[in-house]
Amino acid sequence: MTTYISVICAVLAGFILSVILTGRLIPFLKKHQFKQFVREEGPQAHLSKTGTPSMGGLAITASAIAAALIISAVFGVFSVRILVVCITMVLFGVIGFIDDYEKAIRKNNDGISPKQKIALQFGFSLAFAILAYFTSGTLSAGFTAGNAAHSSIWIPIWDHYLDIGILYIPWVMFVMIAFSNSVNLTDGLDGLASSVTALVAFLMTIVAYNSGFGEYPLFYAGIIGACLGFLVYNHNPARIFMGDTGSMALGGGLAAAAIMMKLEIILAIAGLIYVMEALSVIIQVWYFKKTGGKRIFRMAPLHHHFELGGMHETKVVRLFATITLGFCILAFLLSVI
């Protein structure tokens, strides 16, 4: 049975492992030239960050997963469910790793093509969606969702499980791809993605615990600790970046566990900053093409809009973290109404 003590242990384990692994990863990445290459068309202030070690997500993913699996085993709540979520997190992290590796080899910030990235995301999310659809209560939320169909979505406030049948598969794929890309877009300032994700994971830990999900609170608790440990080195001025390796893994992991618990809408509310970041890019591209070169934002994603408006990146990070805290409070209230 998951207890407050086990959740705290998972946070501490994730934090300690992350601090140790990230600290050792920095010199290794420097030695092997796995460094960040900043786009020239990005904010000019970011050009000084070129050469900072990337792929720090390796430490985040390893720490979060190790903490979740070890603590769940120690407290007797280890199951195939948490293993599936951890594997999914690793697979999405692999996509980011391939992208980061390509960037390091080519010495630029292009990485693999968008089509290649989407193809991999499509394949992994399809496999996860099919698994979630056909396993019913075995791997999904059947043990707490009562008689809810495995192909259902929980609607907050209404407190009703809406069965969408076979459409559940594309729904899951959309959530997985959207979150992995949204967290990836949020990773643009020192400490931004890790601080926002720590808060979102904290909210999901509370909701999962209150809802009676045995192992998933430990998974999210591991992410909290891993992100906070990474922040020790990632706060401004960052000594290491998580890269796509970390952001893709975090997005995939957050979404996978939420889908298993039928809490993807709660996750979307808590992580509205991710949604806003992604929408800012979509709107910017659409408006640019529609108007023949005009822009709505100074630069997208949204955090660059504030940065180019004269706000220092540390203030942007604090602002986005504060907004995320507000969204998390709102998500919590909606989960208990």
pLDDT tens sequence across 180-198 = 999 999 999 999 999 999 9
Count of CB atoms situated within 10 Å of the CB of 16? 15
pLDDT in tens, 13-45: 999 999 999 999 999 998 887 876 666 555 666
Tokens of 304: 């660059």
- DSSP at 161: E
Helices (H), the chain: 4-31, 57-74, 80-106, 114-134, 168-186, 192-210, 216-234, 243-260, 264-270, 272-291, 302-308, 313-336
Q: Is the pLDDT of residue 140 over 60?
A: no
Tokens of 106: 């080519």
- Could you report how far apart the first and last alpha carbons of the chain are, in Å? 25
> Counting Cβ atoms within 10 Å, is residue 182 exposed (0-12), middle (13-18) or buried (19+)?
buried
Q: What is the mean pLDDT of residues 97-108?
A: 83
pLDDT band at 105 (very low <50, low <70, confident <90, very high): confident
Q: Write the CB contacts of 17 (distance below 8 Å, at least 6 apart in sequence).
A: 62, 63, 66, 67, 225, 226, 229
- DSSP at 35: B
Tokens of 185: 């877009």
Q: Report the pLDDT value the prediction gives residue 144, as an integer from 0 to 100.
A: 44
pTM of the model: 0.93
Q: Report the pLDDT value the prediction gives residue 158, as an integer from 0 to 100.
A: 86
pLDDT in tens, 226-253: 999 999 999 999 999 999 999 999 999 9
Between CA 233 and CA 56 the distance in angstroms is 10
Between CA 107 and CA 103 the distance in angstroms is 6
Smallest CA-to-CA distance from 177 within 128, 125, 132 is with 125
Q: Is the preceding peptide bond at 27 cis, omega within 30 degrees of 0?
A: no
